[in-house]
Chains A and B, each alone.
Chain A
């Protein structure tokens, strides 16, 4: 019940296209869903996060869509740029705990 499943494992998008990464979770106690971006040789950095009281959150070109009944959430990157090429991790946590459960990661490549 602690797993967060992420897909696809890798994604190639053309510059200007839309990148979509999906995650699903089982634990209904999760109530905070961040996305992290990790460049090679760096630690993960928080990109955007959502709580289940809203179905969508947008920050610039990045949007999280959240479906509580389906226990799924996704990251949309609009107008993808080569600089967005990185590994993206979805994650989840509950307020009673203090740990993040990460997905397996998606390696995004944006071709120029």
Chain B
């Protein structure tokens, strides 16, 4: 158990809808990152938040947005869902922004877009 919890674990949406995924970081961790893992692929970096501000973003369109709250919990929002958004969304927490690779991942939220 990493101490990173995500909700919901599974959800189904239709194309064009919006979705919000939630993450509670491991205690003491002030940085949260979100990754998208398509079936049979490695995780791809979406963005990272540190002290409630986005401080790094991968190659994802603006309809992917996020929030980090003062208690370091986080949300990933995806607007105008597309079929290709179907994936496992992983939240990972870490301590600090100078990256050491020691991410602690949650078990993910599996999103299916129909």
Q: Contacts of B42 on A, CB cut-off 8 Å?
A: 6, 89, 91, 102-105
> Is B106 located at the chain interface by the 8 A CB criterion?
yes
**Docked-complex contact A99 and B43, CB < 8 angstroms:** no
CA distance A44 to B2 in the complex (A): 10
> Is A86 located at the chain interface by the 8 A CB criterion?
no
- Chain B CB count within 10 A is highest, among A44, A89, A98, A104, for A98
- Chain B CB count within 10 A is highest, among A34, A43, A93, for A43
Which interface class (under 10, 10 to 19, 20 to 34, 35 or more) fits A?
A: 20 to 34
Contacts A43-B107, A45-B2, A46-B103 given; indicate if A102 touches B56 (C-beta within 8 A): no
Give residues 13-63 of B contacting A (CB, 8 Å).
Answer: 31, 33, 35, 40-45, 48, 50, 55-56, 58
CA distance A95 to B102 in the complex (A): 12
**Docked-complex contact B101 and A93, CB < 8 angstroms:** yes
Q: Contacts of A33 on B, CB cut-off 8 Å?
A: 101
Number of A-B contacts defined by CB within 8 Å: 72
Task: Return B89 CB to nearest CB of chain A, in Å.
Answer: 10
Task: Return B48 CB to nearest CB of chain A, in Å.
Answer: 5
CA distance A89 to B108 in the complex (A): 16
**Docked-complex contact A99 and B45, CB < 8 angstroms:** yes
> Is B78 located at the chain interface by the 8 A CB criterion?
no
Contacts A95-B98, A98-B31 given; indicate if A45 touches B105 (C-beta within 8 A): yes
